[in-house]
Amino acid sequence: MGIIEKMRLDGKKIFVTGGARGIGKSVATAFAEAGADIAIVDLDLEEAKKTARELEENNGIQSIAIKADVTNPEDVNAMIEQVLETFGRLDVAFCNAGICMNIPAEEMTYEQWKKVIDINLSGVFLTAQAAGKVMLKQGGGSIINTASMSGHIVNVPQPQCSYNASKAGVIQLTKSLAVEWAARNVRVNSISPGYIGTELTLNSPSLQPLIQQWNEMAPLGRMGKPEELQSICVYLAGDTSSFTTGSDFVIDGAFTCI
C-alpha cells in the first residue's frame, strides 16, 4: 500500500466543532473526501445540517449535524453521546470552535474577556476531555485543536489580548494532554493558522483596512486559504501520524518569522 492509500481515513469517525462554515467546514470536507464519517457540531444547527448534507451528497459518507455549546459540559456530553449512538465509536476530534473580539484591554469588560476564554480555551478543554475519555477506553484516537499564530505573537494593529491569551493556552493545553495520554495511544496536536481568508472574513467591511495591513506585512503578501489547512489535518487524523503528538503546527506563510 502506497503512502496516499495509507493517508486515507476510510472508516474513521470524526466530530468537528465549529464545523458549519469557515475553517471547520473546509477541514470537515477534507476528512469526508478521505473517507471519514463526520459529525458537524455547531450552534447554528440549520447551517450545520446544510454542511452535513453537502458532505454526504458529494462524498458518499455518513454525516450528521449536532447543535452544541462547547462551553456547556452538558451540551458537550450530549454531543458525544449522539456521536457514539450514530457511529459506534470516535476516532478523531477536531476541536475548532472559536471567536475573536478586537477590544482595547483597558476597555474590555470581564464578560467580554470571559466569553472569549470560555469558548476558545475552556471549550477546547471540554471537547478534548470528552473525546479523550472515549478514546482512552477504546485504546486510541487523535485530537486536533485549533490554536493560532496569535498564541505565538501579538497581532497588530488590532487589540485582541483575550484571543491571544486563549490561543496560547490552547497550545500549552495540547502539549499537556499529549504527555498525559501518550502512553495510552491518544494523540493530541494543534494547528496554528495565520490570517485565513474565510468567506466571513473577506466579506466583512470593517476588516478590509486590517486585511490590507496584514497582507503588506506578510512575507507571502496574502492571507491563507481555508483549504491550505486541509492536508495537515488529514495527516494528523490518520494513522501515518502515529509518532506525532504534542506538536503545534504553524501554518501562517512565515508571518511569525518576522
Instruction: Kindly state the percentage of the chain with pLDDT values over 70.
Output: 100
Residue pair 63/40 in contact (Cβ under 8 Å)? The answer is yes
For 118, which DSSP code?
I
CATH superfamily of the 3-251 domain:
NAD(P)-binding Rossmann-like Domain (3.40.50.720)
Rg from Cα positions in the chain = 18
Q: How far apart are the first and last CA of the chain?
A: 41
| pLDDT tens, residue by residue, 81-122 | 999 999 999 999 999 999 999 999 999 999 999 999 999 999
pLDDT recorded at residue 25 = 98
pLDDT, mean over the chain: 96
CB atoms within 10 A of CB 24: 25
Is the pLDDT at 203 greater than 90, yes or no?
Answer: no
Give the pLDDT confidence score for residue 188 in this predicted structure: 98
pLDDT of the residue at 205: 82
> How is residue 122 annotated by DSSP?
I
pLDDT band at residue 201 using 50, 70 and 90 as cut-offs: confident
Q: Is the pLDDT of residue 50 over 80?
A: yes
pLDDT greater than 80 at residue 200: no
Residue-range domain boundaries for the chain: 3-251
Q: Taking the model in full, what pTM does it have?
A: 0.97
Catalytic residues: 148, 163, 167
